Amino acid sequence: MRHKNILVEDNYIRSVNTHGVTVTHADGVTVRNNTVTLNGDQGLTQTPLINVSGTSQNVEIIGNRV
């Protein structure tokens, strides 16, 4: 794992082109109480606003508004 023990909290993320929050190659991440709106995907495919890759472990997603 490249990244450890990270907190992403109380952010407002708007008008992003892909994911609002991406967690990759990480261990021990908490994504909490963020607001993520209006991602750039307007087509047929839906892109998640909060994305966790399979290379991450021990990730908590708590109380976010998307």
* Cα gap 40→30, rounded to integer Å: 24
Q: Is the pLDDT of residue 55 over 70?
A: yes
* Closest to 34 in 3D by CA, of 62, 5, 4: 62
Distance CA 46, CA 39 (A): 9
Boundaries of every domain in the chain:
3-62
Residues 51 and 32: their CA atoms lie apart, in Å, by: 13
Taking the CB of residue 34, how many other CB atoms lie within 10 A of it? 21
Q: Model-level pTM?
A: 0.84
Q: Write down the pLDDT at residue 45.
A: 62
Average pLDDT, the chain: 88
Facing residues of 57 across strands? Answer: 27
pLDDT band at residue 66, thresholds of 50, 70 and 90? confident
Question: What mean pLDDT do residues 54-63 have?
Answer: 97
